[in-house]
Amino acid sequence: MRRVNQVGSLLFFVGALSVMWASWALEYYTPLGPGPGFFPLWLGGCLALLSLIWFVQAGRKPREPIPEGFIPARDGMMRIGSILGALLLMGLLIDVLGFQLMMFAFLLFLLVVLGRRSIVLTLAISLAGSFGAYYAFTTWLGVQLPQASISWLMKLGL
C-alpha cells in the first residue's frame, strides 16, 4: 500500500507543478493587487508541498499488503469497464444518433450484461427509460434532449 500512496502523491506533485507552470503564463500582480495568476500559483505551490508531505508520510508507514478489495476482482473490473465504456460511447454518440436511440442501446446493454433479467422486462425498462423519458422530459418538463444529426434518423423522429 505504501507504494500505491507514494505513486499517488507523485502524480499529485506533477499535477501541482503543471498548475504552477500554467499560472506562470498569467499576470501575477497588477497595480491594483493580485492578478489572474496569483491565486493558482500559490495554490499550486501549496498542493505541491502537501503532496510531498503525503509522500513522506506514506514512506514512514510500515510496509503492509494492499488491502483486500482495493483492486477489484476480474468480474468487478468487467462490470466497471462495461459501465464506463457504455457511458463513453453515450458521450461520443449522443449528438450523432440522438438521445432516444443511444439511451435505448445504453440501457439494453447494461441491463442485459449486468442486470440479467428477463428479456421482456429488460426491453420494457429500456423503452421506458429512452423513448418514454424523452417524451416526458421534452414535453412535460421542457428539458431539451438531443435528436439524431443523421438526416434519415431525424426524419424518423429520432
Partner 1 sequence: MDVVLNILAGFAVALTPQNLMFALMGSFLGTLIGVLPGIGPAAGCALLIPLTARIDPTGSIIMLTALFYGTQYGGTITSVLLNVPGEASSVITCLDGYQMAKQGRPGVALSISAIGSFIGGTLASLALVVVAGPLTRMALEFGPVEFFALMVLGLSLLMGLAGTSMVKALMMGIFGLLLSMVGMDPVRGSPRFTFGQMELMDGIGFVPVIMGLFGLAEILENAEKRFTQVVQSKLSSLIPTRQDVKDSAMPILRGTVLGTLLGLVPGMTNSASSFLSYAMEKKLSKHPEKFGTGAIEGVAGPETANNAHANGALIPLFTLGIPASPTIAVIMGAFMMNGIVPGPFLFKDHPALVWGVIASFFIGNVILLILNLPLIRLWVKVLKIPYSILFGLILAFMIIGVYGLDNSAFDIMTMIVFGVLGYVLRKLDFPLAPVVLTLVLGPLMERSLRTSMEMSQGDFSILWSSPISAGLLIAAAAVLISSALRFLPIGKRIPSGDEEV
Among 83, 105, 150, 153, binds partner 1 (CB under 8 A): 83
Q: Considering the complex, what minimum distance in angstroms separates the CB of residue 151 from partner 1?
A: 20
One-letter amino acid at 7 equals: V
Q: Considering the complex, what minimum distance in angstroms separates the CB of residue 115 from partner 1?
A: 4
Query: What are the residues facing 29 on neighbouring strands?
Result: 34
Q: Is 14 in the site for partner 1 (CB under 8 A)?
A: no
d(CA 2, CA 11): 14
Q: Considering the complex, what minimum distance in angstroms separates the CB of residue 133 from partner 1?
A: 7
Q: 19, 18, 38, 20: which is closest to 28 by C-alpha?
A: 38
Q: Considering the complex, what minimum distance in angstroms separates the CB of residue 155 from partner 1?
A: 21
> Of residues 98-157, which lie at the interface with partner 1 (CB under 8 A)?
99, 103, 106-107, 110-111, 114-117, 121, 125, 129-130, 133, 137, 141-146
One-letter amino acid at 128 equals: A
Helices and strands (DSSP H and E) totals, the chain: 7, 2
Q: How many CA atoms lie within 13 A of 122 on its CB side?
A: 15
Q: Considering the complex, what minimum distance in angstroms separates the CB of residue 157 from partner 1?
A: 19
Q: Three-class SS of residue 33?
A: strand
Q: Three-class SS of residue 71?
A: coil
- Other residues' Cβ atoms within 10 Å of the Cβ of residue 51: 20
**Residues found near partner 1 in the complex (CB under 8 A):** 4-5, 8, 12, 19, 22, 26-27, 29-36, 39-40, 43-44, 46-47, 50-51, 53-54, 57, 69-70, 72-73, 75-76, 79-80, 83-84, 87-88, 90-92, 94-95, 99, 103, 106-107, 110-111, 114-117, 121, 125, 129-130, 133, 137, 141-146
